[in-house]
Homo-oligomer: A and B are copies of this chain.
Amino acid sequence: MNGIITLLTDFGTEDEYVGVMKGVILSVNPAATIVDISHGIDPQNLTQAAFMIQAVLPYFPEGTVHLSVTDPGVGTDRAILALSIGGKILLAPDNGILTLLLKEKSIASIIQVKNSAYFLKPVSPTFHGRDIFAPVSGHLSKGLDISALGPPVSPDTLVRLPLSEPHISDTGELLGTIIAADHFGNLMSDIDLNTLASFCNREYKKLGIRIGASEIIGLSETYANVKPQQPLALIGGTGYLEIAVNCGNARRHFGVGKGAAVRIGK
């Protein structure tokens, strides 16, 4: 392990919750390097958490421990999982936020976290982030093997979110969904470059990308390829189709957000 622990939660940053988790981690491993991914997941939004953790993992070095704590079922009998994936370890509740990662072939093992020897006691039924996730991540970052945390679990038994997937409509359009609007108001879809490439045989210039009542023709390379305040579509930094307004805010420009349909014609 490399001592790096990342935190991805829906806890916000105005309360002391994240700071307290860091205190618990540093009590276990004073040498940990703690990195905030985001604490701005919309409260209890499992879909958003699922997409974000998938986007983050490739950019951290092997030996990193990732915590993903969006957990409306805290204190119930929902399981807590530890995954060994691509040389990293991921801790998350079994509530569907691993749905996208479970498709990957790099999962080495999945454990149900049960061994309370690594928990902070007493365990509050409302704050497992502090009492389970934080101390367990501290121990993992010092080299504890995930097999010490509990029994193995079959991936087939885990909760999965019913995520919509891009597909071809009866009229031959490629249909996708806006997953999130980011800080800039850019609209992030679930259509990845590979799907788009096979849909249009890499003929991107004539694509008609319809969002709300508007249509954008063709893909741009980057934001500034169109004039300020003009809309555009491009492949964003994570490889998905993104709709933006140069130096503007596409969410406000189009008046649509998360869950909106994207319809693509060729």
Q: Is A11 among interface residues, defined by CB-CB distance under 8 A?
A: yes
Contacts of A153 in B (CB 8 A): none
Q: What sequence of 0s and 1s flags, for each residue 20-61 of chain A, a beta carbon within 8 Å of any chain B beta carbon?
A: 101110110010011111111001100000001001100111
Q: Taking each of A30, A74, A225, A234, which has the highest tally of chain B beta carbons within 10 Å of its own beta carbon? A: A30
Contacts known (A23-B56, A59-B20); A15 close to B222, Cβ less than 8 A = no
Complex-state Cα separation, A40 to B13, whole angstroms: 7
Contacts known (A59-B130, A234-B126); A183 close to B22, Cβ less than 8 A = no
Contacts of A61 in B (CB 8 A): 23, 26-27, 30
The main secondary structure of chain A at its interface with chain B is loop
Contacts known (A24-B59, A30-B61, A76-B222); A19 close to B36, Cβ less than 8 A = yes
CB within 8 Å of B: which A107-161 residues: 124-127, 130-131
Q: Is A197 among interface residues, defined by CB-CB distance under 8 A?
A: no
Instruction: For A35, give its contact among B19, B221, B223, B225 (CB under 8 Å).
Output: B19
Complex-state Cα separation, A214 to B225, whole angstroms: 45
Complex-state Cα separation, A184 to B74, whole angstroms: 14
Interchain CB contact under 8 A, A75 and B223: yes
Contacts of A35 in B (CB 8 A): 19, 22-23, 26, 34
Contacts known (A26-B33, A35-B26, A59-B130); A224 close to B19, Cβ less than 8 A = no
Interchain CB contact under 8 A, B4 and A43: no
Q: Which residue of B lies closest to A33 (CB)?
A: B26
Q: Which residue of B lies closest to A44 (CB)?
A: B247
Q: Taking each of A183, A236, A242, which has the highest tally of chain B beta carbons within 10 Å of its own beta carbon? A: A183
Query: Interface of A with B (CB < 8 Å)?
Result: 2-4, 6, 8, 10-20, 22-24, 26-27, 30, 33-40, 43-44, 52, 55-56, 59-61, 64, 72-76, 124-127, 130-131, 182-184, 221-225, 234, 236-237, 242, 246-247, 249
